């Protein structure tokens, strides 16, 4: 290349790079302004066009993906647990992030969590979470952890146990996949939505994840699953008591007096369970243990029930 050609290339680079970062700053400003104004969220067509932003990146795709991922985390964090909050920009931000950098694994894994959580904890869109993780698997076919995430979404959020088992099984055949993936596939296929299977899955999430927030959430869920198992067992004993004496026990102590219990069981917080008038066991009001809503909700037709299946 001639000296004049080299000078022209340097000049183009000097002009293009500031323009790139200027456009990034402009997009960030748009996002920030939209966070405070729901009425403007539907009008930002640029934000929803990954291909257009990719053309604007001038080859800095990974850098721009990191910025968009950071903005997605900030957007989610700014609305997390806020009463009445919705997350209309979450999917567009994740869509752009993973289009710019298809190998940014954290965006698929944590983005799926943000999308699938319900209530004030997330967008309540497990369908989009599944779409995001499937996109990640297509772009990263040897990453078994994405199959683990997909199996979890099908199992816990959608109660589609056949698809969950298939996701775990596919992941078990990938390089470096742990043996428990194949065990989990068989377990889900055989037992469906049992509490024991749920506990196995959440135990693996707790053991295999280093993120403190994920581990904290997994531990809280495991505590709730233990309480649900205890309540199921007490429900069965209360039914047995009713068959013997023609009424439900007024307190758990009566189960012990009847020889149905060796000791008064306590929840993971250390509080004894209580019995309701219909014989159903419940947590003490002072307990901080929370039984997940996914267990309390009715099962999908054709699938086995969870809480209360005797």
Query: pLDDT per residue over 126-182, tens digit each?
Result: 999 999 999 999 999 999 999 999 999 999 999 999 999 999 999 999 999 999 999
- Any idea where the domains of the chain sit in the sequence? 14-28+45-191, 193-310
Q: How far is Cα of residue 201 from the mean position of the Cα atoms in its chain? A: 12
Confidence band, pLDDT 50/70/90 cuts, at residue 204: confident
CATH architecture for segment(s) 14-28+45-191: Alpha Horseshoe (1.25)
Give the residues across from 275 on adjacent strands. 281
Q: Are 272 and 199 in contact (CB under 8 A)?
A: no
Q: For all residues of the chain together, what is the average pLDDT?
A: 82
Distance, CA of 112 to CA of 94 (rounded, Å): 9
Q: Which residues contact 291 (CB under 8 A, 6 or more apart)?
A: 224, 225, 227, 228, 231, 283, 307
Which alpha helices (H) appear in 143-282, and where do they start and end?
Answer: 144-152, 161-172, 180-191, 195-208, 212-245, 252-257
Give the residues across from 274 on adjacent strands. 282
Return the ∠ at Cα 296 (arms to 203 and 261), rounded to 5°. 75
pLDDT value for 235: 95
Whole-prediction pTM value?
A: 0.69
Q: Look at residues 109, 116, 3, 99 and name the one whose alpha carbon lies nearest to residue 51.
A: 99
Give the residues across from 272 on adjacent strands. 266
- Both tokens of residue 127? 């369908």
Q: How far is Cα of residue 25 from the mean position of the Cα atoms in its chain? A: 31
Q: Look at residues 76, 69, 110 and name the one whose alpha carbon lies nearest to residue 90.
A: 76
Give the residues across from 282 on adjacent strands. 274
- Both tokens of residue 192? 């469906």
Handedness of CA 107, 112, 117, 122 (dihedral sign): positive
Asked if pLDDT for residue 24 goes beyond 70, the answer is no
pLDDT, tens only, 47-102: 556 666 666 666 677 888 999 999 999 999 988 878 888 899 999 999 999 999 99
Q: Are 231 and 282 in contact (CB under 8 A)?
A: yes
Distance, CA of 179 to CA of 183 (rounded, Å): 7
Distance, CA of 154 to CA of 47 (rounded, Å): 29
Distance, CA of 97 to CA of 54 (rounded, Å): 10
Asked if pLDDT for residue 31 goes beyond 80, the answer is no
Confidence band, pLDDT 50/70/90 cuts, at residue 309: very low
pLDDT value for 300: 40
**Eight-class DSSP state of 299:** P
Return the ∠ at Cα 104 (arms to 36 and 140), rounded to 5°. 135
DSSP state letters, 119-163: GGGS---HHHHHHHHHHHHHH-TT-HHHHHHHHHIIIIIS--HHH
């Amino acid at each position: 290349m001639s000296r004049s050609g080299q000078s022209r290339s340097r000049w183009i680079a000097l002009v293009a790079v500031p323009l790139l970062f200027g456009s990034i700053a402009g997009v960030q400003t748009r996002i920030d302004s939209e966070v405070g104004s729901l009425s403007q969220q539907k009008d930002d067509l640029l934000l929803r066009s990954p291909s257009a932003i990719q053309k604007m990146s001038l080859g800095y795709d990974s850098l721009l993906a990191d910025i968009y991922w950071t903005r997605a985390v900030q957007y989610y964090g700014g609305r997390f647990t806020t009463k009445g909050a919705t997350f209309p920009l979450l999917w567009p931000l994740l869509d752009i992030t993973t289009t710019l950098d298809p190998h940014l694994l954290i965006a698929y894994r944590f983005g799926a969590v943000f999308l699938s959580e319900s209530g004030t904890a997330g967008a309540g869109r497990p369908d989009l979470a599944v779409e995001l993780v499937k996109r990640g698997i297509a772009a990263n076919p040897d990453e078994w952890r994405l199959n683990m995430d997909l199996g979890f979404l099908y199992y816990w959020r959608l109660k589609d146990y056949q698809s969950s088992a298939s996701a775990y099984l596919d992941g078990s055949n990938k390089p470096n996949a742990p043996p428990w993936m194949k065990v989990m596939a068989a377990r889900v296929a055989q037992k469906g939505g049992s509490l024991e299977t749920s506990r196995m899955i959440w135990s693996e999430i707790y053991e295999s994840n280093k993120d403190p927030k994920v581990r904290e959430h997994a531990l809280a869920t495991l505590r709730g699953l233990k309480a649900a198992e205890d309540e199921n067992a007490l429900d069965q004993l209360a039914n047995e008591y009713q068959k013997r004496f023609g009424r439900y026990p007024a307190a758990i102590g009566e189960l012990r007096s009847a020889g149905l219990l060796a000791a008064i069981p306590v929840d993971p917080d250390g509080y004894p369970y209580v019995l309701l008038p219909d014989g159903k066991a419940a947590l003490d009001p002072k307990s901080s243990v929370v039984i997940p809503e996914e267990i309390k909700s009715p099962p999908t037709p054709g699938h086995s029930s969870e809480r209360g299946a005797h």
